[in-house]
Amino acid sequence: MARLALTERKTAIRTRDGRTLAGHVFTSARAPHAVMVINPAMGYTQGFYRPFARAAAARGWAALIYDYRGQGGSADRPPARDPARMLDWARHDIPAAAAHICALHPGLPLDVAGHGAGGQFAGLIAPRVRVRALALISSAGPYWGLHAPSMRALTWGFWRFYGPAALTVRGYVPRGAMWKGAPLPPGVWRDWRQCGVSRDGFRDLFAEHGLDARWRAFSAPVRAWTPDDDPIATPEGVRWLLERYERAPSDMKIVRRADLGRGRIGHDGLLREPMASVFWPQIFTWLTRRHARAAA
């Protein structure tokens, strides 16, 4: 069977508070049967998700990848002077991206794929934008105590020493010895730290801004996948996050390296291109079945 030609085009996403986010939309030569927004993890930029988005487009989705404010193509000022907060990613950027892809293809159902923080915040998509299903990939609670024991000392040092020192010296958290992601504006890091150092920090941050009710209203089916060697999205951490989606039917799948014939997978390995044939079909099949049930 000949491969369908895929189209990639740039798009600009406007948020309710006036920021512009850079994104790309992928479609195939056939009319899409649904739309998908891919929410990135902390410090990951949209290019990392391009192979996954192309694969989704080949399966019939119009797929959107994008950068949060202060990240990648959406970074429109030096990170030390960017007022962006992680809270803004949750309450403005993720809802705007979901609404944007729905507006480009009106009437189609919306599926969401969330990696890391992108899955934590998917519950804040506006209720008027109806999510059909949410796929979580290596997405779990941010509290350091939920991480694997091998990761906890590193995480504690990042919160207590590396990050504060970077803000004092540079005014932001740059890529470096203890941080391999995109540079983080100070407000992003401070919000993330609040969620990371306290088990209740995540809940408290959003409750104080009146956003917890929207989370409780989220009711789309949720499935979480995490590999058996992810030191951040551990089974305990994934269960913690699924409990936040209290009205949504949910389950968790542990991806075992031996079953895939792979060695190390880690926190981002499930979304790397070598997984295109051995793992991604699990996500696409689950979402497609949700579509079939909804249409029945």
Q: Which of 224, 198, 185 is nearest to 83 (CA)?
A: 185
Enumerate the H helices of 121-157 as residue ranges: 149-157
Q: What is the pLDDT of residue 291?
A: 62
Instruction: For tokens 């694997």, name the residue.
Output: 148
What is the percent of the chain where pLDDT is above 70? 97
Q: What is the pLDDT of residue 138?
A: 99
pLDDT score of 1 more than 50: no
Q: How many CA atoms are closer than 13 Å to the CA of 100, on its beta-carbon side? A: 25
- Domain encompassing residue 11: 6-295
User: Rounded CA gap, 164 and 181, in Å?
Assistant: 17
Is the residue at 123 inside a domain?
yes
Average pLDDT of the chain? Answer: 94
Is the residue at 183 inside a domain?
yes
Of 22-36, 56-70, 282-296, the range with the lowest mean pLDDT is: 282-296
Judge contact between 21 and 68, C-beta under 8 A.
yes
- What residues form DSSP beta bridges with 11? 23
Helix 50-58 / helix 280-295 crossing angle, nearest 10 deg? 40
Report, as an integer, the average pLDDT of 58-70: 98
Q: What is the pLDDT of residue 272?
A: 97
pLDDT tens for residues 134-183? 999 999 999 999 999 999 999 999 999 999 999 999 999 999 889 999 99
User: CATH number, domain at 279?
Assistant: 3.40.50.1820
pLDDT tens for residues 199-233? 889 889 989 888 888 888 899 999 999 999 999 99
What is the percent of the chain where pLDDT is above 90? 86
Number of domains making up the chain: 1
Is the residue at 274 inside a domain?
yes
Is the residue at 1 inside a domain?
no
